[in-house]
């Protein structure tokens, strides 16, 4: 359970910095698009992790 909570907290921190960063560098569109691609990849990885957890019936401790 503790590991699962840690993972969720890290995800929230990453999401917070993502929005803060995109807001700060809104003037630099090219850089922002590159950053967004990286974070989209990261978010899709997190989504896949959630799907796989359901698929293989992982316990929360396994995350």
Rounded to two decimals, the pTM is 0.28
Q: Which helix (H) or strand (E) holds 62?
A: none
Number of domains in the chain: 1
Rounded distance, CA 60 to CA 13, Å?
20
Q: Residues 49-61: pLDDT tens digits?
A: 666 666 655 555 5
pLDDT at position 56 is 55
Angle between helices 29-55 and 2-24 (to 10 degrees): 160
Q: Residues 25-47: pLDDT tens digits?
A: 555 666 666 777 777 767 676 66
3-state secondary structure of 57: coil
pLDDT at position 29 is 61
CA 32 vs CA 6, 8, 26: distances in Å: 28, 24, 7
Predicted confidence (pLDDT) at residue 2 exceeds the cutoff of 60: yes
Domain range for residue 16?
2-62
């Amino acid at each position: 359970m503790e590991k699962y909570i840690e993972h969720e907290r890290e995800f929230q921190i990453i999401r917070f910095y993502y929005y803060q960063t995109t807001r700060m560098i809104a003037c630099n569109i090219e850089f922002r698009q590159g950053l967004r691609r990286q974070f989209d990849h990261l978010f899709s990885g997190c989504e896949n992790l959630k799907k796989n957890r359901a698929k293989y019936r992982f316990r929360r401790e396994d995350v």
